[in-house]
């Protein structure tokens, strides 16, 4: 007799393999073929609400931590562990702000531009959506120790969740490539920090080997459970639009975990009959870390029903290695040239009829200052969305009457250095530098009135 199957299982995304694994296993890649894994569900065995608005009712119950969590409120859509294993510290209390002022600046019609502030999460970035899910799975499998490679926010979030459930954690960061706001967090939350002499891609490789050697739980976005938690960002956008869909989702692209999980979220909602169409998606790279843009726009790399041209990817990475290329952008959270979720992102672009493009650092920091003027602010990587949106409007890809939701992935205070330099050094049209005045009343009054 076949073993009793769980309602959730892990499944290789390669259609020529497709091997399934139990959720009690800790895997980051398919042991049979080395491709990425998905979490798949036997939906017939999960009591998914008949309509999305049923999830909204839970919001009102602040006494049940799982109902209050902006992630676990949607638990039937990520049903891979039982409630006692779930770890929550109030993630996902984030808002979708309608921003008509910024819309007007960009030539977008009123009521059409929305900013999803994921910086409002407990550790200040969207990563908490994924970390609550990864650590719930880590508890299910009894993990003692966790690790990640990080440009900063993954480590901050990991350290917070690891500490809250008594699991040890180690952060791998590249030397000199981390914003201080983020580094300060993982140290404060008790994470062990290893500063590797290399960049993020080097750290990513090392941490995978270390986790395999020492049987440590890896929480980078290779971890398929983490991506399940990040799906809820999309559910909350729909919720805050009164259970209506936007026309466009705009998201920065780094390791491509977010874009991958958003595509999966929409594919599943459609399959379940909870939505009747899928929004389009724009993934925005920084031009100093534009692997996705290069491969999709120049090399025409596509999902191709799962038969991705891995040779094209391998050739491009070999070129990067030969050139000793290291990615460079002020948006440190997306300073990644070998994105681990590349193939899943191609699938998401396929599901969402997506587009990708790269924007310069100058455009990113201008957009960051603009967002700061009109809203709650964000870190540079998040502002790539608005910088990219400007291009897409100019190119006529996105129309000014379409409903657009930009995901602002991290809090403005994560990287004060970039912000201070932009203003102090008058780097762009939105710079607002401090004015030095002598300690003299008349002089101060004079400066204040000019
Ligand atoms: C991690 C991160 C990103 C990149 O997200 P991916 O899912 O890796 O593409 C973007 N912005 C911020 C603030 C981040 O912390
Ligand atoms: Zn496989």
Domain ranges of the chain: 1-46, 95-121+227-424
Q: Which residue has the tokens 């809820």?
A: 232
Instruction: Please report how the helices 153-164 and 180-188 are oriented relative to each other, as an axis angle in degrees rounded to 10.
Output: 20
CA distance 148 to 138: 13
Top mutation candidate among 254, 261, 327, 367 for ligand 1, by most atoms within 8 Å of CB: 254
Q: Residues with Cβ < 8 Å from 282, sequence gap 6 or more?
A: 248, 249, 250, 251, 354, 355, 356, 357, 388, 389, 392, 397, 398
**Domain 95-121+227-424 classification at class level:** alpha beta
Q: How far is CA 331 from CA 287, 327, 379, in A?
A: 10, 11, 8
pTM comes to 0.96
Instruction: Give me ligand 1 centre to Cα 152, in Å.
Output: 10
Contact (Cβ atoms closer than 8 angstroms) between residue 152 and residue 159? no
**φ, ψ for residue 149, nearest 5 deg:** -95, 145
- CB burial class (10 A; 0-12, 13-18, 19+) of residue 314? exposed
Instruction: Give me ligand 2 centre to Cα 20, in Å.
Output: 8
CA distance 317 to 340: 12
Q: Is the CB of 56 under 6 A from ligand 1?
A: no
Q: What is the number of residues in the chain? A: 450
Q: Is the CB of 119 under 6 A from ligand 1?
A: no
CA distance 69 to 130: 12
Q: For atom 5 of ligand 1, which residue has the closest CA?
A: 254
Q: For atom 14 of ligand 1, which residue has the closest CA?
A: 333
Sign of the CA dihedral with 120 first, then 124, 127, and 128 last: negative
DSSP code of residue 412: G
> What residues pack around ion ligand 2 (CB closer than 5 A)?
12, 14, 17, 30, 32-33, 35
Select from 205, 224, 230 the least CA-distant residue to 341: 224
Own/partner pairs, 394-398, CB within 8 angstroms, 24+ separation = 397/282, 397/355, 398/248, 398/282
Q: How far is CA 114 from CA 95, 246, 248, 351, in A?
A: 10, 9, 10, 22
pLDDT of residue 237: 98
Give, in degrees to the nearest 5, the angle at Cα 370 between 367 and 372.
110
CA distance 344 to 334: 17
Top mutation candidate among 204, 228, 255, 411 for ligand 1, by most atoms within 8 Å of CB: 255
Q: What is the pLDDT tens value at each position of the chain, 450 positions in all?
A: 445 578 999 999 999 999 999 999 999 899 999 999 999 999 999 999 999 999 988 887 888 999 999 999 999 999 999 999 999 999 999 999 999 999 999 999 999 999 999 999 999 999 999 999 999 999 999 999 999 998 899 999 999 999 999 999 999 988 876 788 888 898 999 999 999 998 888 999 999 999 999 999 999 989 999 999 999 999 999 999 999 999 999 999 999 999 999 999 999 999 999 999 999 999 999 999 999 999 999 999 999 999 999 999 999 999 999 999 999 999 999 999 999 999 999 999 999 999 999 999 999 999 999 999 998 999 999 999 999 999 999 999 999 999 999 999 999 999 999 999 999 999 999 999 999 999 999 999 999 987
- CB burial class (10 A; 0-12, 13-18, 19+) of residue 402? middle
Q: Which residue has the tokens 């039937």?
A: 76
pLDDT of residue 1: 43
Contact (Cβ atoms closer than 8 angstroms) between residue 88 and residue 139? no
Instruction: Give me ligand 1 centre to Cα 254, in Å.
Output: 5
Which ligand does the CA of 339 lie closest to? 1
Give percent of the chain above pLDDT 90.
Answer: 90
Structure tokens at 196: 């590797």
Q: Is the CB of 155 under 6 A from ligand 1?
A: no
Q: Residues with Cβ < 8 Å from 359, sequence gap 6 or more?
A: 284, 285, 286, 287, 384, 387, 388, 391
Q: Is the CB of 343 under 6 A from ligand 1?
A: no
Instruction: Give me ligand 2 centre to Cα 287, in Å.
Output: 32
Structure tokens at 269: 């909602």
DSSP code of residue 2: P
Which ligand does the CA of 150 lie closest to? 1
> What does 47-107 look like in DSSP terms, one character per residue?
---SSTHHHHGGGG-TTSHHHHSTTGGGGGGG--S-GGG---SSTT--EEEE-HHHHHHHT
pLDDT of residue 59: 80
């Amino acid at each position: 007799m076949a073993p009793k199957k769980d309602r959730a299982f892990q499944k290789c995304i390669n259609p020529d393999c497709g091997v399934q694994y139990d959720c009690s296993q800790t895997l980051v890649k398919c042991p049979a073929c080395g491709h990425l894994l998905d979490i798949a569900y036997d939906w017939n065995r999960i009591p998914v609400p008949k309509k999305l608005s049923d999830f909204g009712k839970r919001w009102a119950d602040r006494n049940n931590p799982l109902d209050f969590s902006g992630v676990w409120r949607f638990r039937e859509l990520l049903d891979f562990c039982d409630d006692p294993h779930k770890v929550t510290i109030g993630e996902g209390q984030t808002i979708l702000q309608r921003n008509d002022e910024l819309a007007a600046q960009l030539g977008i019609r009123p009521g059409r531009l929305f900013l999803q502030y994921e910086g409002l999460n407990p550790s200040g970035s969207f990563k908490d959506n994924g970390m609550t899910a990864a650590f719930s799975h880590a508890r299910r499998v009894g993990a003692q120790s966790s690790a990640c490679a990080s440009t900063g926010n993954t480590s901050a979030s990991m350290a917070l969740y690891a500490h809250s459930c008594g699991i040890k954690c180690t952060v791998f960061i590249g030397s000199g490539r981390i914003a201080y706001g983020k580094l300060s967090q993982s140290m404060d939350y008790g994470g062990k920090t290893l500063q590797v002499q290399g960049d993020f891609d080097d750290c990513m490789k090392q941490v995978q080997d270390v986790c395999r050697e020492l049987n440590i739980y890896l929480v980078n976005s290779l971890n398929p459970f983490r991506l399940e938690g990040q799906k809820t960002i999309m559910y909350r956008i729909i919720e805050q639009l009164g259970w209506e869909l936007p026309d466009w989702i705009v998201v920065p692209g780094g390791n491509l975990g977010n874009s991958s999980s958003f595509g999966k979220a929409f594919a599943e909602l459609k399959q379940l009959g909870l939505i009747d169409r899928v929004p389009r998606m724009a993934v925005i790279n920084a031009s100093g870390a534009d692997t996705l843009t290069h491969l999709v726009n120049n090399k025409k790399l596509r999902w191709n029903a799962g038969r991705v041209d891995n040779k094209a990817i391998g050739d491009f990475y070999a070129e990067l290695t030969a050139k000793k290329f290291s990615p460079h952008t002020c948006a440190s959270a997306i300073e990644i040239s070998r994105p681990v979720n590349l193939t899943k992102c191609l699938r998401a672009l396929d599901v969402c009829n997506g587009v990708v493009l790269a924007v310069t650092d100058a455009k990113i920091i201008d957009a960051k200052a603009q967002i700061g003027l009109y809203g709650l602010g964000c870190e540079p990587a998040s502002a790539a969305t608005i910088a990219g949106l400007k291009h897409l409007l100019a190119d006529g890809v996105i129309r000014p009457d379409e409903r657009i939701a930009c995901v602002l992935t991290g809090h403005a205070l994560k990287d004060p250095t970039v912000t201070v330099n932009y203003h102090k050094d008058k780097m762009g049209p939105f710079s607002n530098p401090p004015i030095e005045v002598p300690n003299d009343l008349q002089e101060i009054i004079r400066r204040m009135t000019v």
